Amino acid sequence: MNRFSRSQAATVILFSIFLLSFYGWRHYAQHRLSSAPPQVYPLGAVVQVSGKVRTPGIYSFDQPVTVFQAVTRAGGLLPDLKLPPQWEAVRVAHASRLQIVAESNTVASVRIGWMAVPSRLVLGEPLDVNQATCAELALVPGIRESLAKGIVAERKRAGGFSRLEDLLTVKGIGPASLNRLRPYLQVGASQSAVGKSSR
């Protein structure tokens, strides 16, 4: 029976150590990449304009935007409708949705709200954990339906969350998972005009 020489055995051992080190490093690197929170890059504003405008759609701006600027970018109002001058002073937040409606044949108003939840998450706009529904929370990466129900139940029991750290009282959320959720959640909406209408 042939046996390895000392040099051959040393070569096999070194090669085995190299393979183990390589695959161990690869597994560690993949784990780090999969568990690291996504990087959110700042944008000026992305705004959706719908309703009584010439070209409804989603538009990006490199600076804070007003209702007037967003509507103008969407081609302006439909014929016979006039742009209210006060729209020049109404600023809207990133990931907002402006729905332009006609109050009469000539008077237009705007309803300001949020874009759909999947769009907001893609754009890096976090959800208000005190306002999001169970279905909306379940769209957040890392939140299953059961955990979303737990968040809503704890929110109702506590009368709302005052800071994100309060989520640690929810069963299934620990410090590590809270850090992974931070890019997607916030306490309090960042848009003061959400849900308001302006003529």
Are residues 162 and 110 part of one domain?
A: no
Q: Considering 75, 91, 116, which residue would you say is the last residue of a domain?
A: 116
Does this model's pTM top 0.85?
Answer: no
In a domain, 36, yes or no: no
* 5 lies in some domain: no
| Amino acid identity at 113 | G
The answer to whether position 40 is within a domain reads no
Does a structural domain hold residue 35?
Answer: no
The token pair at 166 is 């309060």
**Is residue 48 packed enough to be buried (19+ CB in 10 Å), middle (13-18) or exposed (0-12)?**
buried
132 with 152, same domain: the answer is yes
Structural domain contains residue 100: yes
- Residue 33 structure tokens: 């990449």
**CATH code, domain carrying 177:** 1.10.150.320
96: left (phi over 0), alpha (psi -120 to 50) or beta: beta
The answer as to whether 97 is a domain residue is yes
Coil vs helix vs strand at 36? coil
The helix (H) or strand (E) run that includes residue 180 is helix 175-181
* Domain-located, residue 14: no
At 17, which amino acid appears?
I
Domain count, the chain: 2
Indicate whether 108 and 141 sit together in one domain: no
Map residue 34 onto helix, strand or coil: helix
d(CA 52, CA 84): 14
Regarding whether 100 and 58 lie in a shared domain, the answer is yes
My answer on whether 136 and 155 are in the same domain is yes
Q: What is the residue whose two structure tokens read 């949020």?
A: 114
Query: What is the Cα 106 distance to its own chain's centre?
Result: 37
Nearest of 114, 141, 142 to residue 128 by alpha carbon: 114
> Looking at the domain assignment, is residue 61 inside a domain?
yes
Q: Would you state the pLDDT for residue 195?
A: 40
User: What whole-number distance in Å separates Cα of residue 95 and Cα of residue 72?
Assistant: 17
d(CA 74, CA 168): 43
Per-residue pLDDT in tens (0 to 9) along the chain, 199 residues:
455 566 655 665 655 665 556 556 555 555 554 444 444 444 579 999 999 999 999 999 988 899 999 999 999 999 989 889 999 999 999 999 999 999 888 899 999 999 999 999 888 889 999 999 999 999 999 999 999 999 999 999 999 999 999 999 999 999 999 999 999 999 986 543 444 455 5
Same domain as 102, residue 61: yes
Please give the full DSSP string across 39-84, using - where no structure is assigned: P----SEEEEEEESBSS-EEEEESS-EEHHHHHHHTT-BPTT-B--
Q: Verify that 110 and 156 share a domain, yes or no.
A: no
- Structure tokens, 25: 């490093």
Quote the domain boundaries for residue 170: 126-186
